[in-house]
Structures are given as structure tokens and as C-alpha cells.
Amino acid sequence: MEQVGYFEPELISIKNHPGLDEKWLQERLAENPKLLGLGDLVLKDKERIQPRAGRLDLLFQDPDAAQRFEVEVQLGRTDETHIIRTIEYWDIERKRYPQYDHCAVIVAEEITARFLNVIGLFNGQIPLIAIRLQAIRVNGSVGLVFTRVMDEVQLGPVDEDEPVQELTDRHYWENKGSPETVKLADRMLELIQKFAPTYGLNYNKHYIGLSENGHANNFAAFRPQRTRMKFELKLPQSEELTRRLENAGLELLTYDRNFGYYNISLSGSDIASQNELLSSVMKEAYEASI
């Protein structure tokens, strides 16, 4: 076995370090947003002025998912004022730019159990991520380690957990979309029934879902429009899957991080030419859901 060296890492406090401060940390995150572990983000702004509410430390955006992250950094132990400020900035930004999904992010050197309990009261209502920062000194240099200690709660599709759903019917969707686009959902169901023969369409007010023996399982959902159909595929976002869909020439809309699905616009010709791919990815979503 190859001999591997070992050393004890030296943890340091940025707050108490004479040569480091919050501005230094913000610069490191601005230079390399991947440190946060939230994906391939781009920096939109630093020290962003908020109307009558101070400055937002950092604003990042996921260019592929139309999502923005309002990031607040605090050295040392986080406190109640920090969470209030973070939520306030998140609320301001989501109201100013409603075309994006928004997520509040708290970064601190120490996040206490009590603080996590407080955040937990909001999580689910407010998309919020808590990240603990550790600074390590090695040979005179400083490395940064970011650990996500509380993740954004992923919401279920509308009506999924309602004991009595507000059901509609096929005629409702033919009027809302068109008879032709509702037939696209039929064609997708035919693909699904090759691996899940007992599944059928479930006509809800907000989408056409899937069910088996009266039990909903919306690993895929459909929203017929006038000339095309939106197809929601519930699978984790990945570069490999995104590439497969794009290489097939499918029209990818935004990835919904809150609900955890790909949003794809389909035509009849898309289903005809890509039925093997569509069947394959729906089967993956089905197997992940059971």
C-alpha cells in the first residue's frame, strides 16, 4: 500500500484573524461561486443596495434554471438579526424580480442547534439554505470548506398531498388547452403503460397527473396548452440528463428546484421522433418514485 502522509488541519476563525475579514470572504465567493456547492452559479451583484434595508452581501444566479440566490455572510456565530436580514433581502428581491425563483442562503462560521431550530420554523414556507464555513490554515495559506447543514425543502406538486383533490375532467383540459394537445398526454401515457401498464391519467385543476388504482404518483405530469404541451419530468437535475434531452433537440424550459422536475415543451413531432428517449427518462423517474 502506498504511504500517505497525514497532518492535523488547523482550524482558524476568520472573525478573529487580524488579516482576514468579511470583505475578504465575499471576494473569494465572488471569484469562485462553486465553493458554496449550489451549482454552476454566476455573480450578479455584490453589496447590492436594498431600499431602506441595507445591502445584500452577494447575489448569484443559476443561468440554466432561472433561479437566484440571495447570500448573506456572517463571521463567527450567527444570530437572530442575521436570519431576519437574510429573509428580508430575499423577500425584497423576489418581489422586485418575480420572473425568477429565489432562495435565501445563510453562510456563517458557527450555526448553533438553536439557530437551526429557528430556521426550521420557516423552512418549507421560505426556501432557505444554511451553510457552515470552516477556514483551515495550511503552510501559511487559508483554505475554505463549506458544508450545507440545512437544505431547501423540496415541495410536492400542487394538490399531491390533499386528501380530496379538486378533480376536473378531460373536457376541462380540452378547453384550457386543445383536443389535439390533450391527445399528446394520451400518447405519453401509452409510453408509460409499456413499463407501468396499470397507470392512467388523473385530470387535476393545475395539471394532468398520473395515478394507479386511485393513488397519485406524479413522476411525470402534463399541462396541455393551445399548440404544445408542457411535460414535467421529476428527476434530479444533472449535466448528463440535461445533455441527453438537449441533444435530442427537445425544448428545455427552466428546471424547477422547488419541485425537483425538468420542464419540457413538447410537440407531436417531438413525441414521434423521441419516443424511445421519452420512454426511457419516464421509466427512470417512475423507478425513482417507487
Q: What confidence tens digit (pLDDT) does each residue in 148-196 have?
A: 887 765 444 444 444 444 447 899 899 989 999 999 999 999 999 999 9
Residue in this structure with the C-alpha cell 421522433, named with its chain if needed: 273
Please provide residue 257's backbone torsions phi and psi, each rounded to the nearest 5 degrees: -70, -30
From the DSSP assignment, how many helices (H) and strands (E) are in the chain?
8, 14
Distances (CA, A) of 119 to 82, 104, 247, 260: 11, 11, 41, 22
Span 200-233, pLDDT tens digits: 999 988 899 999 988 889 999 999 999 999 999 9
CATH topology of domain 10-150: Trna Endonuclease; Chain: A, domain 1 (3.40.1350)
Q: Residues near 230 by Cβ (< 8 Å), separated by ≥ 6?
A: 222, 223, 224, 253, 263, 264, 265, 266
CA dist 120 and 128 (Å) reads 9
**Is the confidence at residue 120, as pLDDT, over 70?**
no
Q: Identify the three-state secondary structure at position 248.
A: coil
Average pLDDT for 123-144 = 83
Task: Give the residue extent of every domain in the chain.
Answer: 10-150, 170-289
Judged by DSSP in three states, 94 sits in helix
CATH placement of domain 170-289 = 3.90.1150.20
Find the mean pLDDT for residues 266-283: 96
Per-residue pLDDT band for 234 (boundaries 50, 70, 90) equals: very high
Q: Is the overall model pTM greater than 0.75, yes or no?
A: no
Contacts of 13 (CB under 8 A, 6+ apart): 75, 76, 109, 135
Confirm if 181 and 265 have CB atoms less than 8 A apart. Answer: no
Q: Tell me what pLDDT residue 124 has.
A: 59
Percent of the chain clearing pLDDT 90 (strictly above):
45
